[in-house]
Structure 1
Amino acid sequence: MKISIITVAGISSRFNKDIPDEKKILKCLYYEKNPQDTLIYQMIKKLKYSDKIIIVGGYKYTDLIDYVNKYIPHELQEKIILVKNDLFDDLSSGYSLYLGIKEALDNFNEIDEILFVEGDLDIDGESFTKVIKSDKNVLTCNREPIYSNKSVVLYQNENDKYHYLFNSDHGMLSLKEPFKAIFNSGQTWKFRDMDLLKIANDEFYNNSMEDTNLAIIQKYFDLIENNNDIELIGLKHWVNCNTHDDYRFIVEYWRK
C-alpha cells in the first residue's frame, strides 16, 4: 500500500497579511478564476497513484471539507482521508505530520511507503515523478538560493549523515560542524520503513510536541543506518507559495 500525506493546517499568516478577517482563506484553496487552480487540487492530481491520500487540516477546516466535496473528482475523493488538527494554532507543523502518520499506521497494514509533502508547494511533474518512482527513502532539494530567514537547510556532514537546519523565527542560522554538501530542502520526503517511522513519530509525541515536522523527519533519517537506502532528488521547478504574487507565478507556470 502507498500512502501520501499533505499538511495544510496552518493559518497562512503571510498569505493573508493585510486582508480583512472575513476575506481570509486557507492558502491551499485560494484561486482567482478557476476553482481547479488551487495548490491542493494540483497536488492531489500528482498523488493519484496513492492508495490513500491523508490531508491534515486545521485552520478553516470546514472550508477544506467543502472544497474536497465540491471540486475534487469522485474517483480521487474516495482515496482522501481528512484529519483535523485541533491544535494548529498552538503547536508547530510537527503535530500535523504526527497526526497524518498516526492515521496511516493505526489504520492500515502492509504499508510499503509514505510520501509526505507540505501543502503550500508547487513542484514540476517530472521531478515529482522521480520521487514517486524511487524505491528508496527520499530527501529532496530545490534550486533556490539559501536564505536563513526562509530556507529549510539540508546538509551532509563529514560522516555522510543528513541533517536539517531551520529557524522558526526567520532569523540567522549557524552550522556548527564540518559539512560535505549543503542544499535548500524541497520539503518533500518519502519514508519506506514503517517500523522506524513509528519510532520517530512516537518519540516526537513523547518528547518534542512543540517542534516542527523536521523533528520527526530528522529522527527517521538518523535511524537509517545505510546511506544507500536514501536517495536525494533535485526538484527543477519548486515554489513555496507564501504570497499572492507567488500564487500568480505558479498559475502562470501551469498555463505554460
Structure 2
Amino acid sequence: MKIAIITVAGVSSRFNKDIPDDEKILKCLYWQDNPKNTLIYKMLQKLEYADRIIIVGGYKYDDLSEYINRHIPENLKEKILLVYNDHFSDLSSGYSLYLGVKEALDNFNLISEILFVEGDLDIDNESFNKVISSDKNVLTYNHNPIYSNKAVVLYQNNNDEYHYLFNSDHGLLSLDEPFKAVFNSGQTWKFKNGGLLKIANDNFYENIIYDTNLGIIQKYFDLVENKDEIEIIGLNHWVNCNTREDYQLIKNYWEK
C-alpha cells in the first residue's frame, strides 16, 4: 500500500497579512477564476497514484472539508482521509506530520511507502513523478538561492549523512561541520521503512513535540543505516506559496 500525507493545518499568517478577518482563507484553498485553481487540487492530482491520501488540517478545517466534498473528483475523494490537528495554533508543523504518520501506521497494513509533501508547494509533474517512481527513500531539493530567512537547508557531511538547518525565527544559519554538498530543501520526502518511521514518530511525541516536521524527518534518515537506500532528487519547478504574490506566480505557471 502506498500512502501520501499532505499537511495544511497552519494559520496562513503571511498569506493573510493585512486581509480583513472575514476574507482570510486557508491558503491551499485560495483560487482565482476557477475553484480548481488551488494548491490542494493540483497536488491531489499528482497524488492520484496513492492508495490512501491523508490530509492533516487545522485552521479553517470546516472550509477544507467543504472544499473537498464540493470540488474534488470522486476517484480522489474516496482515497482521502481527513485528520484534524487541534494544536494547529500552539504547536509547530511537526505535530501535523506526527498525526498523519500515526494515522497511517495505526490504520493500514502492508505499507510499502509513505510520501510526505507540504501543502503549500507547487512542483512540476516531471520532477514529482521522479519522486513517485523512486524505489528508495527520497530527499528533495529545489534550485532556488539559499537565503537563511526562508530556506530549509539540506546538507551532506563528510560521513555522507544528510542533515537539515532551519531558523524558525528567520534569522541567520550556521553550519558547524565540514560538508560535501548544500541544497535548498524541496520539502518533499519518501519513507520506505515503516518500522523506522514509527521509531522517529514516537520519539517526536515523547521528546521533541514542539519541533518542526524536521524533527521526525531528521530522526528517520539518521536511522537509515545504508545511505545507498537514500536518493536525492532535484525539483525543477518549485514554489513555496507564502503570499498572494507567490500564488499569482504559480497560477501564471499553470496557465503556461
| TM-score (ref. length: structure 2) | 1.00
Looking at structure 1, the residues matched to 133 and 87 of structure 2 have their Cα atoms a distance apart, in angstroms, of 34
Q: Does 1:149 align with 2:149?
A: yes
User: Residue in 1 aligned with 2:229?
Assistant: 229
Letter in 2 for 1:55: I
Q: Equivalent residue of 2:64, what SS? A: helix
- Identity level (%): 74
User: Residue in 2 aligned with 1:39?
Assistant: 39
Large movers: runs of 4+ above 2 Å: none
Q: Equivalent residue of 2:248, what SS? A: helix
Looking at structure 2, the residues matched to 222 and 55 of structure 1 have their Cα atoms a distance apart, in angstroms, of 26
Q: Does 1:14 align with 2:14?
A: yes
Give the Å deviation of 1:205.
Answer: 0.2
What are structure 2's unaligned runs of at least 5 residues?
Answer: none
| TM-score (ref. length: structure 1) | 1.00
User: Residue in 2 aligned with 1:107?
Assistant: 107
User: Residue in 1 aligned with 2:129?
Assistant: 129
Give the Å deviation of 1:32.
Answer: 1.5
Q: Does 1:169 align with 2:163?
A: no
Give the Å deviation of 1:157.
Answer: 0.3
Looking at structure 2, the residues matched to 75 and 186 of structure 1 have their Cα atoms a distance apart, in angstroms, of 28
User: Residue in 1 aligned with 2:195?
Assistant: 195
Q: Equivalent residue of 1:47, what SS? A: helix
User: Residue in 1 aligned with 2:218?
Assistant: 218
Looking at structure 2, the residues matched to 168 and 21 of structure 1 have their Cα atoms a distance apart, in angstroms, of 25
Looking at structure 2, the residues matched to 235 and 104 of structure 1 have their Cα atoms a distance apart, in angstroms, of 26
User: Residue in 1 aligned with 2:61?
Assistant: 61
User: Residue in 2 aligned with 1:248?
Assistant: 248
Deviations 1:188-213 (Å, cap 9, x if unpaired)?
00000000000000000000000000
What are structure 1's unaligned runs of at least 5 residues?
Answer: none
User: Residue in 2 aligned with 1:83?
Assistant: 83
Q: Equivalent residue of 2:56, what SS? A: strand
Looking at structure 1, the residues matched to 168 and 145 of structure 2 have their Cα atoms a distance apart, in angstroms, of 18
Letter in 2 for 1:107: N
Q: Equivalent residue of 1:205, what SS? A: helix
Looking at structure 1, the residues matched to 252 and 112 of structure 2 have their Cα atoms a distance apart, in angstroms, of 36
Q: Equivalent residue of 2:14, what SS? A: coil
Q: Equivalent residue of 1:199, what SS? A: helix
Looking at structure 2, the residues matched to 20 and 106 of structure 1 have their Cα atoms a distance apart, in angstroms, of 40
Q: Equivalent residue of 2:49, what SS? A: coil
Q: Equivalent residue of 2:54, what SS? A: strand
Deviations 1:43-71 (Å, cap 9, x if unpaired)?
00000000000000000000000000000
Give the Å deviation of 1:237.
Answer: 0.2
Give the Å deviation of 1:33.
Answer: 1.1
Deviations 1:16-60 (Å, cap 9, x if unpaired)?
000011100000000021000000000000000000000000000
Q: Give the alignment's Cα RMSD to 1 decimal.
A: 0.3
